[in-house]
Structure 1
Amino acid sequence: MSNSKITFKFLNNQQFTELYCKLMGKQDLSEEELTKILSIAIILLNNEDENIKRLGYRIVVTYCNFYNQYEPLYEIAINKGLYPISKFIDSHYIKDYQKDFFTEWNDCYTKQYQENDIVQTSQQKCMNRNFKKYYSNSLALVAPTSYGKSELINKLIDENKGKKICIVTTTKALLAQTRKRIKDSKVLGTRKIITNSEMFHNGMENFVAVLTQERLNRLLKVNKSFSFDYLLIDEAHELLDDNPRSRMLARAIIILKHRNNNCIFKFLTPFILDPQNLKTKYTSYNLKQITITEYLKTEKYYIHELKTEKYLFYDQFLNQTWTLNENINNSKDEDIVINYSGRKNIIYLNKPKDVEDFAYKLSKKLPAINSEQISEACKNLEKYVHSDYRMIECLKRGVIYHHGSVPDSVRAYVENLYKNLADIKYIVTTSTLLSGVNLPATHLFLLDIKKEDQDSH
């Protein structure tokens, strides 16, 4: 079988799985085994199948992180156009005495992908260029989270000041974050920003709207002839769900197209197989598409089975689950979260009561934090909410929580604390933070397999 035709079925039947499992389980490999697994990774990276390539990339990333040797990842990042990774390795892991003509040339070449302080990937730079090229076309943009879709929205607002623009978000949490991001970017000029139908009045032209689908439908229902020039739909893959909210959004698209045949739709999503499926029935418009195929992040899935006291690793590429050499000894959920936590952690539960109860139990197992910023934040919550507010005791130990019953202003405040204070390592949340809200988390703990709409209006 040629290298380009290797399949997952073929890999599952080889000794590869034994080496791969040892590497993913952070077991020491011999020099011969490391040579074999890295050689296999190079073969996989040159495969025709995109998922096979991603498996090869994961092997290299895991090897480099485990052995703290980043030369293989540096070479791959340069050749694949993953310049943020090569730039980071060049700045943090390549010593001055190790640099040569090629590292210096690569560093100079990378500068053309740098905008302000941000280094873009090859496809990211192309995405920015094409998004502007398609301003006058309806468009489906498929790009991973944190790829700069929010900056594209800001640029469109800035460069289309005479247009009526609406951004549709799936939750109030995402709405508040989008509103703040637009205001902070200073692209509004003299325009106002509205976040509900009550803020709109007839004859109002100079504004940008940020609405959930429920609020958008209320606006269109009350104002029978009103329409937008641009409708930007964040987390657009949810349009494909078979539920009332998705049908409500589809209805709004149909109404807007009927009222204004020149209305332009921008569908933004981190994943969808065929972007053309986002086209809505009973409307007619051409849909351009931009799809990012680059793979920078390589997620790992670990499972704790409390009943069997097993610690498992699930591999989404080979669709296999392996028992790792660890024993969790009937640990409670909060102990597992602490033991396997990263720099920043999101803990998901389905119900607000469960969220608050877990945050409180987790905080009781953590030491109090001696920080002026934390103390100031606690005083603010005491002053503006209540001195007995339950979150205060959690916050003192680096834990906050987030759900639909937490006041909007408090949610926005604690989100900002989580982003900017290193001492706050844990945020316990319902689904209010799982749809498009950007947080600097490295670990996600799912303590509940259920999901209900928590915060949509």
Structure 2
Amino acid sequence: MGTLTLRVLRETDFPKLYRRFILHQMNSSDDLAKLLQSAFLFLSSSRQEICQFGYRLTLFYAMKQKDFGLLFKVAQGLGYYPVLKLIQRSSKEDTIISEGFYHEFSEAITEAYNSDGRYLTRGQNLSNIKFKNRAGSVAVVAPTSYGKSELITSSLRPGENICILVPTLALLAQTKKRVLRSEMYEVSQKIITHHEMYNRNDNGFIAILTQERLLKLLESDEKVKFHSLFIDEAHNLLVDGDRERFLAMAIILMVKRNTGIALNFLTPFLNSVKNLKVNFANYDLEEIRIKEFVKAEKIFLCDTRKNRRLFFYDQFMDKYYPASDKIFGRDTELIREKAGQKNIVYINRPVDIEKFTLRFIDLLPPMYNEQIETACNDIAKFLHKDYTLIKALRKGVVFHHGSVPDNVRLFVEYIFSQFQDIKHIVTNSTLLEGVNIPAEKIFILSNKKGSRLLAPSQVRNLAGRICRFSEVFRDSNKDLSLLAPEMYVIGSQFTSESANLHKWISESFKVDRELKDKPSNVLLEKANDVEKLTQKAEVETFLENLSPGITEKDDISYATTDVGRLAFRNNVTEIDILKHEKTMQAKINEMIELGIEASEVSDIIFLISDVFVQLIPEERLFANIRRLLKEEAMNFYSRFLEWRIENKSYSEMIYLFKTYWDHVENTPIPYAYVGKWGDEKRDGHRPNWINLKKKTHEQKINLIIAKIKDEQDFVDNKLMKFVEILNDSGLISYSLYIKLKYGTSDLTQISMLRNGFGGSLATLLREKYSQFIVHQENGSINLRMEILGEMEKNKENMVLVYEASFHVR
């Protein structure tokens, strides 16, 4: 059996037998006997993919025949102990194994893998032991939902500086909540979620940060060291973008300061852990890899643009089989027919997510229950009554993307997870970045992430988001079919016209196709793209200016001006700093000599435009920020930042935005810039604008909500670093700087904002619930558990009540 491969198997008569099995055309017991004989043969193979196929056959047989005895024994032999408990719950135990010694022996073995009420597979248990006994840095490659988060919380140690890196700001609160609730967490440990929470005398703290904030923390104190770093979704390090380069820089700095640091890379997919090695950082990686195959995904394809029939794709045989005689005219028709209790609909672009949601909910019946109505009313008060999300909620649908306000997005995850009648969540790549929600099925209507095709690892990661272990193996579940989660790829209006979905699915899921890593990050050892040599040199120069001598290269140029050094420290990548630093410094010196100090927001916008923006290249990548060279954009951002200083609520900003747009609509040029939400071109080749006269009131409200979120992100990620440089150069009054940065000058609220509280929640707690705020000596702020009941009793907005729950110890 050791020589049998899937390639060889596909050339035998077995595919004919398997086809009859898949198409329910087995009419004789001889066929079933042959199938089971084949399964036994495959299970004894030393080749992983052949053994996996044997398990898959056994699982499918058990589900089709309602005969679980064989599956029980196979799962036991493979060490899939959670599956044993699921079988016992879903069928009468005496039909599986007999009473007596074997039964007791089987139970004893299974209980040995009971970890605090959660049953582990043999692979999980072994990886946990290896991880606990690791001697240094490690890369854990394990399928989604295999408990990588528990590895992090189980490693918290008092007295050690620990950093948990998260890929997005939205995951800061979720990770902090998990740490606060962990048995390994001690109240004395300071939790840092913002680099400004760090004090130079801090020790034994837990930093939960994005790569940008981590790099800023490291830059703020050249002596700060960490004992360990945890990087979830570590495969992102292979990508070559600014954020991934910042992550690599942070790793280099951390290793340089503590050569004994334990780096912990956690990822569901990686071919070689060697591809996680970063230049200028000497560390070895132990590999912990779990190759189990507990879930057997069922993959379906229906291209509603072409033949419109449904096919089942088998990733072992690499063949498509007809799954239905029905013709599906639209994506929504297929989703409605095949939907489970909880479903994910993946669409790439936020604008398409909302378009699809509107079209989908038109086909669904309204539903009413008090729970949903309360949520709708609270979202209406927090944002606006005409937000599409509210209309969708009343039809059992929610959407989730980066232009949804952060605390509302958290609330959406809660609603989908906890409200039984909410059956569909329409989302995009935000789902790939660690967001855990319960779902049985996924429908993929776009085969892209951003402008690129979803890579095989990303598609498999999406598939791993459904039927998570915590859902499949919970005590209340008796449904064995969740071990075979269903993924539907649908060719739709959101799929590129040239997409060959048959080929894309095969390349993504064919079991014996080797998935090759593509280490393109120029700071990785294995990155060898000769076309990026110039970029590599630029990044190395950037790194050297953050920490002179770290690359040990002699041909590096350094900033010679104060503004140049500040630009490097504030991670300015839009400008060629070394080329333009003297020009920037000359302008700043001139303003200092003239005694100029910005005391109004419009002054700051002018300074940013005059000192920095005009030096940014005229490239498409920087088109958004270069808009600040135009008076119209400067006036808009002056107005927008005034709202920030005044700490306007979201609902207030929506009203002010709508008032402004009503004014613009009645001018000779009734256009508004909305970026990716636009559908008309003006002064360019991209449709970044809308004609306000062509939009309904509801369309304007939804565009405004998305626009405000996008502009908040733009201000935080693009403008504030220039504000920091101007402030450090002495060109902004302190009071204006503080209000611009935090939206308040109240020290308690500022401390809460630094601790990860949202602005609206911080204001509410300061005004009405100060007795429930717990100030730790180390600077951390948590909330007493009683606050949640008090807020609910007072009928506070549930968006804010749920956000508050992330800060309760």
**TM-score, normalised by the number of residues in structure 1:** 0.92
After TM superposition, give the deviation of residue 29 of structure 1 in Å.
4.7
CA distance in 2, matches of 1:326, 1:195: 54
After TM superposition, give the deviation of residue 231 of structure 1 in Å.
0.8
After TM superposition, give the deviation of residue 68 of structure 1 in Å.
2.0
Partner of 1:115: 115
Partner of 1:389: 387
After TM superposition, give the deviation of residue 188 of structure 1 in Å.
4.3
Contact in 2 for aligned 1:347/1:444 (Cα 8 Å):
yes
Greater alpha carbon shift after TM alignment, 99-108 vs 246-255: 99-108
Is 1:129 the counterpart of 2:97? The answer is no
After TM superposition, give the deviation of residue 121 of structure 1 in Å.
1.1
Q: Structure 1: which amino acid aligns with 2:71?
A: L
Q: Structure 1: which amino acid aligns with 2:428?
A: T
CA distance in 1, matches of 2:351, 2:389: 13
Instruction: Describe the SS at the equivalent of 2:354.
Output: helix
Evaluate the alpha carbon distance shift between residue 303 and residue 82 of structure 1 in structure 2; reply closer, same or farther with a 3 A threshold.
Answer: same
Partner of 1:185: 182
CA distance in 1, matches of 2:171, 2:251: 20
Partner of 1:171: 168
Partner of 2:259: 261
Instruction: Describe the SS at the equivalent of 2:448.
Output: coil
Partner of 1:409: 407
Contact in 1 for aligned 2:345/2:425 (Cα 8 Å):
yes
Evaluate the alpha carbon distance shift between residue 364 and residue 184 of structure 1 in structure 2; reply closer, same or farther with a 3 A threshold.
Answer: farther
Q: Structure 2: which amino acid aligns with 1:38?
A: L
Could you report, residue by residue, the CA deviation over 1:325-360 in whole angstroms, capped at 9, with x for unpaired residues?
Answer: 433242x11121111112221111111111122123
Could you report, residue by residue, the CA deviation over 1:190-220 in whole angstroms, capped at 9, with x for unpaired residues?
Answer: 2232223233333333531222222222322
After TM superposition, give the deviation of residue 367 of structure 1 in Å.
2.3
Contact in 2 for aligned 1:173/1:433 (Cα 8 Å):
no
Is 1:241 the counterpart of 2:239? The answer is yes
After TM superposition, give the deviation of residue 181 of structure 1 in Å.
1.8
Q: Structure 1: which amino acid aligns with 2:331?
A: D
CA distance in 2, matches of 1:372, 1:298: 38
CA distance in 1, matches of 2:388, 2:186: 37
Contact in 2 for aligned 1:23/1:29 (Cα 8 Å):
no
Q: Any stretches of 5+ residues in structure 1 without a counterpart?
A: none
Q: Structure 2: which amino acid aligns with 1:269?
A: T
Q: Structure 1: which amino acid aligns with 2:311?
A: L
Instruction: Describe the SS at the equivalent of 2:2.
Output: helix
Evaluate the alpha carbon distance shift between residue 36 and residue 165 of structure 1 in structure 2; reply closer, same or farther with a 3 A threshold.
Answer: same
Contact in 1 for aligned 2:159/2:205 (Cα 8 Å):
no
Contact in 2 for aligned 1:19/1:33 (Cα 8 Å):
yes
CA distance in 2, matches of 1:376, 1:399: 15
Q: How many residues align?
A: 451
Greater alpha carbon shift after TM alignment, 397-406 vs 30-39: 30-39
Q: Structure 1: which amino acid aligns with 2:359?
A: K
Partner of 1:341: 339
Contact in 1 for aligned 2:396/2:421 (Cα 8 Å):
yes
Contact in 1 for aligned 2:361/2:392 (Cα 8 Å):
yes
CA distance in 1, matches of 2:199, 2:211: 19
CA distance in 1, matches of 2:197, 2:325: 56
Map 1:83-232 onto structure 2 (within 5 A).
83-96=81-94, 99-101=98-100, 102-134=102-134, 136-157=135-156, 160-185=157-182, 187-232=185-230
Contact in 1 for aligned 2:6/2:49 (Cα 8 Å):
no
CA distance in 1, matches of 2:436, 2:403: 20
Could you report, residue by residue, the CA deviation over 1:29-58 in whole angstroms, capped at 9, with x for unpaired residues?
Answer: 532222111211111111121111111111
Partner of 1:419: 417
Q: Structure 2: which amino acid aligns with 1:113?
A: Y
Instruction: Describe the SS at the equivalent of 1:357.
Output: helix
Contact in 2 for aligned 1:24/1:62 (Cα 8 Å):
no
Partner of 1:47: 45
After TM superposition, give the deviation of residue 411 of structure 1 in Å.
1.2
CA distance in 1, matches of 2:4, 2:204: 57
CA distance in 2, matches of 1:371, 1:303: 35
Instruction: Describe the SS at the equivalent of 1:404.
Output: coil
Q: Structure 1: which amino acid aligns with 2:4?
A: I
Partner of 1:311: 310
Evaluate the alpha carbon distance shift between residue 118 and residue 356 of structure 1 in structure 2; reply closer, same or farther with a 3 A threshold.
Answer: same
CA distance in 2, matches of 1:52, 1:243: 38
CA distance in 1, matches of 2:14, 2:419: 43
CA distance in 2, matches of 1:93, 1:173: 41
Q: Any stretches of 5+ residues in structure 2 without a counterpart?
A: 452-709, 718-809
Contact in 1 for aligned 2:80/2:122 (Cα 8 Å):
yes
Q: Structure 1: which amino acid aligns with 2:307?
A: T
Q: Structure 2: which amino acid aligns with 1:128?
A: N
Map 1:442-453 onto structure 2 (within 5 A).
442-452=440-450
After TM superposition, give the deviation of residue 170 of structure 1 in Å.
1.9
Q: Structure 2: which amino acid aligns with 1:49?
A: R
CA distance in 1, matches of 2:20, 2:361: 34
Greater alpha carbon shift after TM alignment, 41-50 vs 196-205: 196-205
Larger radius of gyration: 2
Greater alpha carbon shift after TM alignment, 213-222 vs 401-410: 213-222
Map 1:311-390 onto structure 2 (within 5 A).
311-330=310-329, 332-390=330-388
Evaluate the alpha carbon distance shift between residue 104 and residue 386 of structure 1 in structure 2; reply closer, same or farther with a 3 A threshold.
Answer: farther
Contact in 1 for aligned 2:136/2:261 (Cα 8 Å):
no
**TM-score, normalised by the number of residues in structure 2:** 0.53
Q: Structure 2: which amino acid aligns with 1:44?
A: F
CA distance in 1, matches of 2:117, 2:62: 25
CA distance in 2, matches of 1:161, 1:249: 25
Could you report, residue by residue, the CA deviation over 1:257-302 in whole angstroms, capped at 9, with x for unpaired residues?
Answer: 1122222200111121222332222211222221112211111211
CA distance in 1, matches of 2:234, 2:190: 25
After TM superposition, give the deviation of residue 97 of structure 1 in Å.
6.8
Contact in 2 for aligned 1:87/1:107 (Cα 8 Å):
no
CA distance in 2, matches of 1:436, 1:60: 31
Instruction: Describe the SS at the equivalent of 1:281.
Output: coil
CA distance in 2, matches of 1:249, 1:437: 20
CA distance in 2, matches of 1:360, 1:415: 19
Contact in 2 for aligned 1:138/1:264 (Cα 8 Å):
yes
Q: Structure 1: which amino acid aligns with 2:109?
A: Y
CA distance in 2, matches of 1:222, 1:18: 66
Is 1:299 the counterpart of 2:297? The answer is yes
After TM superposition, give the deviation of residue 446 of structure 1 in Å.
1.0
Greater alpha carbon shift after TM alignment, 198-207 vs 354-363: 198-207
Evaluate the alpha carbon distance shift between residue 335 and residue 201 of structure 1 in structure 2; reply closer, same or farther with a 3 A threshold.
Answer: farther
CA distance in 1, matches of 2:236, 2:358: 32
CA distance in 2, matches of 1:195, 1:177: 11
Q: Structure 2: which amino acid aligns with 1:318?
A: M
Q: Structure 2: which amino acid aligns with 1:253?
A: I
Map 1:436-447 onto structure 2 (within 5 A).
436-447=434-445
Which residue among 275, 278, 296 is the counterpart of 1:277? 275
After TM superposition, give the deviation of residue 236 of structure 1 in Å.
0.9
Instruction: Describe the SS at the equivalent of 1:5.
Output: coil
Could you report, residue by residue, the CA deviation over 1:108-163 in whole angstroms, capped at 9, with x for unpaired residues?
Answer: 321111122211111211222221112x5111111111111111111111xx1111
Which residue among 430, 433, 436 is the counterpart of 2:431? 433
Q: Structure 2: which amino acid aligns with 1:340?
A: K
After TM superposition, give the deviation of residue 26 of structure 1 in Å.
4.8
CA distance in 2, matches of 1:245, 1:271: 20
